[in-house]
Amino acid sequence: MLKKGLIYIVFILVAGLIISSCRKDEIITDSSAKLSFSTDTVMFDTVFTTIGSTTRQLKVYNPYDQPIKISNLFLAGGSESFYRLNINGKISTSLTNVEIAPDDSLFIFVEVNIDPTNMNNPMVVQDSIVFVTNGNRQDIDLVAYGQDVLLINGQFVGDTVWTNDKPVLVYNSMAVDSNCTLTIMQGAKVHFHKNSYLYVYPTASLVVNGTLEEPVIFRGDRLDHSFDDVPGQWGGIHLTQNSKNNVINYAEIINAVIGIRADSLDVSSPNPTLTITNSKIMNMSYAGILGAGSTILATNCVVYNCGFYAVALLYGGAYEFYHCTIFNYWSQGSRTTPSVILNNYFYSGGTYYVRHLVKATFGNCIIFGNQDDEIALDPYPGAGDFIYKFDYSLLKYTGNVSDPVFFNNVYLNEYPEFADFTEYDFELDTLSFPKDKGSIDIGSLVPLDFKGASRTSDTGPDLGAFERLE
């Protein structure tokens, strides 16, 4: 009797489990059942026309212990929508009878493409994804901000002027053709797709005419805020061998591999390969400024946050840096290289080639960072000129500075106290050590600071690109 009773109990339990299992396998039909979503709005930052956008992801959840079926899932704008959906690997504007298992989810990937040929397009493009489940309608908003651009796709440009009427987008690099000048006016924005460069060919010139209020911006084409500080998004500006009379004033060069590379020029030439003033070069995966046997004059410039070198002056050349702030606190990982390196040779095919470093002057500058030594001096042993001077500058350096031919009135290892370098504010704090420590003679060469303040109106010039006036 006991055995029969036990069999009966087991039978009841198994039947209950079967019934329960069958119930759970049944698709929920309750009209009050609702889907859950990872967000109520899929938002795109500024999207360049003709190019599309980064992909956004929406996750759709079934919060129930029974399957749920979406009878209809579609873009409200239909086939005319600027948006595209990829639903579990299927590209479509609509699907029917999409089932989600209990406590499971569905991924939807959303892209947008804004057509600039339709002049009636709004700059804000909206749509929605509609979900109909058991007669219950839910929707998720799609919002994108669009902007038309001048697209340069692997092209040579001749004598050209770019203004700030629309951004420029460079795909597959570009080049300023020989004997031509590209002039970029204040407020212009030049965006580069991944691995794209701006090349300035031999005998060509780049002229950048920014202002304090409207600098010229060079940066990548990923405009989502999560990419604001990501280095290495594009190649950089490359002034090729024997390009000439390149002038950059008030530019911001951001998030490239090498901000500016200036190649070889006869160092006896009366004009530098590059004259750069009042500019910021930030977040480079390799180097901010790279001179390769070239001539560079830099004043009132800030070079910050570079993965290897902030300023690399290689293969000889002639260089002058006055009132520059070179501050390298690399935030993307470990950095073992110094902020500034000088050498006078290169190695190729098993042979060393010596190139004269006829001048490398740093006057009234700040060279600092999170390494013990932020300066590397690398002359070829016993050959070639290797002439340099750090003059009235604050240095992060543990080497010997006793020879006044090379080090004149330098200050060592005193933290400069910027207002907030994490927010790219390199103005000096009230008690900052570099205040009034500069040479008046050097200050008179660059009498106005980055913001146009006078360096000659108080006790003495401050070191770096900014003069603090109490």
pLDDT in tens, 330-369: 878 889 999 999 999 999 999 999 999 999 999 999 999 9
**Token representation of residue 340:** 């500034």
**Token representation of residue 117:** 């040929």
**Token representation of residue 246:** 């390149």
CA distance 420 to 464: 15
CA distance 167 to 188: 7
The burial class, CB within 10 Å (0-12 / 13-18 / 19+), for 464 is buried
Average per-residue pLDDT for the chain: 90
Determine what percent of the chain is predicted with pLDDT higher than 70. Answer: 91
pLDDT confidence bin for 20, thresholds 50/70/90: very low
pLDDT confidence bin for 421, thresholds 50/70/90: confident
CA distance 273 to 296: 6
How would DSSP label each residue in 394-435?
EE---S----TTTEES-EES----EEEGGGTEEEEPTT-TTT
What digits encode the pLDDT tens for the residues 71-107? 999 999 998 888 999 988 888 888 999 999 999 999 9
Contact at 8 Å (CB) between 259 and 281?
Answer: yes
CA distance 329 to 421: 9
Establish how many alpha carbons lie within 13 A of residue 145's alpha carbon, considering only the half-sphere containing its beta carbon: 5
Report phi then psi at 301, rounded to 5.
-115, 150
Which of 123 and 298 is assigned the larger pLDDT? 298
How would DSSP label each residue in 341-370?
EEESEEEETTEEEE--EEEEEEES-EEEES
**Token representation of residue 155:** 């092209």
Per DSSP bridges, beta strands 197-200 and 236-239 are parallel
Q: Residue 120 above 60 pLDDT? A: no
Report phi then psi at 419, rounded to 5.
-60, -55
CA distance 183 to 249: 11
Predicted TM-score of the model (pTM): 0.81
CA distance 314 to 375: 13
Determine what percent of the chain is predicted with pLDDT higher than 90. Answer: 72
**Token representation of residue 283:** 């977040």
Least confident window among 102-106, 180-184, 421-425: 421-425
CA distance 410 to 438: 10
CA distance 141 to 319: 55
Note the pLDDT of residue 90. 84
**Token representation of residue 157:** 């440009």
Establish how many alpha carbons lie within 13 A of residue 208's alpha carbon, considering only the half-sphere containing its beta carbon: 29
Note the pLDDT of residue 22. 45
CA distance 449 to 454: 6
pLDDT confidence bin for 256, thresholds 50/70/90: very high
Least confident window among 85-89, 206-210, 253-257, 453-457: 85-89
What digits encode the pLDDT tens for the residues 209-218? 999 999 999 9
